[in-house]
Amino acid sequence: MASPRSRNLRAVVRTVTLGAVLGLAGGYIVFYGIFPVAGIPATSEASVPLMIGLLGITSILTGLATENLVELIFQSFLALFLTGVVASAMALSPMLIGVVFISPDSVPAFLIHYGFLLFVLAFVVDLIGGTTGLAMRERYFLRSRRSVSFRPERK
């Protein structure tokens, strides 16, 4: 049997890891929504179905890996923070090769200002998709604790 301390540590690591996956997807969506020419696929306007699809698939898959609803809520809030970090890192990446358009300290505020609706979209889709994945896990992927009997029950 694993000790309660190691179980708690595993739960925290799992929550942070799944929150990081959601944050990566959300960060890419915010970056792609603001700079669609720099994203993949490069277009003049961002594709909303593509953004919702990527967020939805990611959140359902992380919901399948989540143990309970409390972890899912923590993951979603952690992903909200990591979305800003990832989007800022992607926007600052041209600075690494010497191309600077704006000062680096104003990039996070710029992304939050122009990508606020995308942050909200990512958070809502993470919650809805995560609960859908968690419900699918509970319904279809976990075995029932009761044994199924086809005999009539006696009273």
pLDDT (tens digit, 9 = 90+) per residue, 79-128? 999 999 998 888 887 766 656 666 777 788 888 888 899 999 999 999 99
Could you tell me the pTM of the whole model?
0.81
**Mean pLDDT, the chain, as a whole number?**
85
Average pLDDT over residues 49-66: 93
Question: Rounded distance, CA 48 to CA 15, Å?
Answer: 28
Q: Which residue has the tokens 């609706």?
A: 117
Q: Which of 138, 109, 137 is nearest to 34 (CA)?
A: 109
State the pLDDT at residue 145: 53
DSSP for 9-72, written as a single string: HHHHHHHHHHHHHHHHHHHHHHHHHH-TTTSSS--SS--HHHHHHHHHHHHHHHHHH--SHHHH
State the pLDDT at residue 85: 92
Of the chain, the end-to-end C-alpha distance in Å amounts to 37
Question: Rounded distance, CA 61 to CA 84, Å?
Answer: 21
State the pLDDT at residue 154: 60
Encode burial over 102-140: b for 16+ CB neighbours within 10 A, e otherwise. Answer: eeeeebbeebbeebeebbebbbebbbbbbbebbeebeee
Q: Which residue has the higher pLDDT, 140 or 16?
A: 16
Q: Which residue has the higher pLDDT, 101 or 132?
A: 132
Coil, strand, or helix at residue 101?
A: coil
Give the distance between the most distant pair of CA atoms in the chain.
80
State the pLDDT at residue 42: 77
In the chain, % of residues over pLDDT 70: 85
State the pLDDT at residue 60: 94
State the pLDDT at residue 147: 52
